[in-house]
Amino acid sequence: MNEKEITKKNILFLLLDKWSDWEASYLSVGIQMLAGENYSIKTVAIDKKEVLSIGGFKTLCDYNLSTVPENYEALILIGGLSWRDHKYDEVKKIINQCLEKKRILGAICDAAGFLGTIGTLNEIKHTCNNLNNLKQWAGKNYLGEDKFIPKMAVSDNNVITANGTASLEFAREVLLSLKSIPKEVVENWYQFHKLGCYVVDIPNI
């Protein structure tokens, strides 16, 4: 590993079995395209290193929860079909550590709902797939209904949440939260992928 690789800040993507391929793709590619010289994408599994996505991609993760490095810039929780299978106490621990260190925490789809089940959303503005479903799933642990915002993606106090249809909006909010990429660059990148258009300079004739 060269010196440049060592100085890069890690962005950790936590992937469960049956993770949603599309919810990670825009963000990971956006980081690499717009700030690859500053950040390194690393994947994390709960225990075993190999996880299978909904789309059938096998991912051999860089870390599991027992080997996650202490230094990282952001922890990204990707949604999927397994977040409701267990309580995932070990995931709760790393989430709380992320918040204590004031790092960026991103969660999309059912991963955002999971934050509601452990009390993370009680004091911050947030969104999720469906408010009523979140209330049923989280029960008494969720006290943040007054903080719920019916938007595709919401960023508040370094915590970004998004619903499962908002992979691009989620990526935009996380990229803006990194603060190392000019806002105009992020917005142009978003518009290009959202609308198929981008801004170019018109040459003088």
Contact 31, 61 (CB under 8 A): no
C-alpha to C-alpha distance for 96 and 118, rounded to whole angstroms = 10
Contact 170, 193 (CB under 8 A): no
Q: Catalytic site residue 109?
A: yes
Beta strands 104-108 and 9-14 are: unpaired
C-alpha to C-alpha distance for 116 and 135, rounded to whole angstroms = 8
- Alpha helix segments (H runs only) across the chain: 3-7, 21-35, 89-100, 110-117, 131-138, 167-178, 183-195
98, 109, 128, 197: the active-site residue: 109
39-45 sheet: strands from edge to edge: 63-64, 39-45, 9-14, 74-77, 104-108, 159-162, 153-156
- Residues designated as active site: 109
